Structure 1
Amino acid sequence: MEELDLSQAVWHKATASGIHGQCVEVATNLPGTIAIRDSKDPTGPVLLFAPAEWTAFLNSLK
């Protein structure tokens, strides 16, 4: 499996997290992939999801 280039990821975190919030960040601009990372560790591990998996996850939260 080819490694995904995350250098073009545009990361977003919840506005409610504040400047020192402990949140996850989400990048939705990557082709065919949703990327998730810990905002406290931006160079750390990243979880990758297919768009359908991400949608199912979000729907389960509702």
Structure 2
Amino acid sequence: MSLADASIVEKSYGARGRVGVKLVRPAETRRLLGDVTASLADRLVDRFRLLVDKVLADGN
């Protein structure tokens, strides 16, 4: 199920077929995301991704 299917975001199509998304209920989504606690594995993956992104950006 996608975020659009779950009525969390609305999709729109702009110039050159670019897809835009807008939160349907931003305050409720913000509140719910505040209740989420990332696991250790999630945090490690996020940090690794940031490190790889930085290394790739510095290499260009």
The bucket for the TM-score relative to the shorter chain is under 0.3
More strand by share: 1
Structure ID, larger Rg: 2
Larger relative helix fraction:
2
TM-score if structure 2 supplies the norm length?
0.27
TM-score with structure 1 length normalisation? 0.26
